[in-house]
Structure 1
Amino acid sequence: MNLSFFDQFMSPYLLGIPLILLSILFPTLLLPMPDNRWVTNRLSTLQLWLLHLITKQLMTPLNKKGHKWALILTSLMTLLLTINLLGLLPYTFTPTTQLSMNMALAFPLWLATLLTGLRNQPSASLGHLLPEGTPTPLIPALVLIETTSLLIRPLALGVRLTANLTAGHLLIQLISTATMTLLPLMPAVSILTVLILFLLTILEVAVAMIQAYVFVLLLSLYLQENI
């Protein structure tokens, strides 16, 4: 029984061929491509408005040097948003529930922000490891603590995204299983669980969008410290 709950997090295979790459790329194929017409349709207009809004929110705290990252961060936001939302549909697989994928996104981007700071302003980047005015006896301990805090950032990014989506999918499956079990036994109680399931689904849609935004927002904050 417990294994069946976690079957949804196993990478799908077809004839021994892993389909996780297809599940990552397929959501992006659903986005409408902009064309050369002066007047676009409503879906393309809505998509351009959302991309403009996201880019504006991410780039406002950054200076002109950080604006070079606009395409990367906006594309990452779009990818995570589409994958998280489509993963809530029945009989689908959510790649962002895999810690390996989230770490593969978090670690290189975090390392890129760190190396950018060390290349452009090494003194300021290393200065974050030791707050100003620290007493001399506390300097070794604070440097160790700040270094650990710096190195744990990509792990926190990946684990946060994985844990939130995994917990939401498990709750939805548990409550839906309870609903199907209680339907022939206690119909009145099953109606209540259906209502809870509906509210939880709305919550998970919000969580899917918020976690994608938080993932990219934290990367932009790490970039802000290093430019």
Structure 2
Amino acid sequence: MNENLFSSFITPTLMGLPIIILIIMFPLVIMTSSKRLVNNRFHTFQQWLIKLITKQMMAIHSPKGRTWSLMLASLIIFIGSTNLLGLLPHTFTPTTQLSMNLGMAIPLWAGAVILGFRHKMKDSLAHFLPQGTPIPLIPILVIIETISLFIQPMALAVRLTANITAGHLLMHLIGGATLVLTSISLPTAMITFIILIMLTILEFAVALIQAYVFTLLVSLYLHDNT
């Protein structure tokens, strides 16, 4: 119990060098490819999942926005797989790092915004000033809309980081309490253990939901700019 609660969120190192890149690339190993493997159930499920994600995300988009289909499908699979891998014992979850989540959110948000200013200049500028705004409120509304625009990638990254980190911390605390209670009160330890199992199941759902929410918000930003 004397262990630092945040020690599991520290980037692991090997011979003094961070191995975050190898960890991020690990999900690629479990993703099957028709070039390496004969078509099986996992490969079929993978293809079905990609088609389902693409259909759900791209239904509202214009042809210009649908060019992002591969990017969004890869994004949700990458975030979902890293979140799930982080629930395994003695593993590291890259999505608990705000720097990594910002590294995903800022380029995607910037790409969508730049695309909007390039192809829909008038509509993009119109978002800064709603129609019918009183003249005295124009400067204030422009400032507020500008701040809300630039805060979007920060909100994306912080939401993902906070949800994944909070779940891992709660599991760590309840797991530690269960170990302590086994020597104090076995019935109470069983209750906390059942709570821990339920929380673990909930974290599996949260890992997938957060991947979907992150990708969906990027898709909505893209839809507003295409």
Distance 2:119 2:170 in 1: 46
Figure out how many residues of one structure are paired with residues of the other and give that number: 226
Q: In structure 2, what is the equivalent of residue 166 of structure 1?
A: 165
State the distance in 2 between where 1:99 and 1:28 align.
22
> Separation in 1 of the partners of 2:54 and 2:2?
42
Question: What code does the residue aligned with 1:61 have?
Answer: I
Counterpart in 1 of 2:19?
Answer: 19
TM-aligned CA deviation for residue 86 of structure 1: 0.6
State percent identity of aligned pairs. Answer: 54
Aligned to 2:208: 209
User: What's the CA shift for 1:34?
Assistant: 2.0
State the alpha-carbon separation in 1 of the partners of residues 100 and 2 from structure 2: 24
Q: Which runs of 5+ in 2 are unaligned?
A: none
> Paired residue for 1:66?
65
Which sections of structure 1, spanning at least 5 residues, go unmatched? none
Give the Cα separation in 2 of the matches to 1:124 and 1:72: 24
What do the CA deviations read for 1:7-52 (whole angstroms, capped 9, x no partner)? 0000000111111011100012111112499x82111111111111
Give the whole-Å Cα distance in 2 for the aligned partners of 1:3 and 1:223: 43
- CA displacement, residues 48-78 of structure 1 (integer Å, 9 cap, x when unaligned): 1111101111101111110110111111111
- TM-score of the superposed pair, with normalisation by structure 1: 0.97
TM-score normalised by structure 2 residue count: 0.97
C-alpha distance in 2 between matches for 1:126 and 1:74: 29
Equivalent in the alignment of 1:98 = 97
User: Is the contact between residue 172 and residue 197 of structure 1 (CA under 8 Å) also seen in structure 2?
Assistant: yes
Using the alignment, how far apart are the partners of 1:185 and 1:92 within structure 2? 29
Instruction: Show the 5 A alignment for 1:25-174.
Output: 25-35=25-35, 40-174=39-173
Q: Which amino acid aligns with 1:185?
A: I
Any idea what SS the aligned residue of 1:5 has? coil
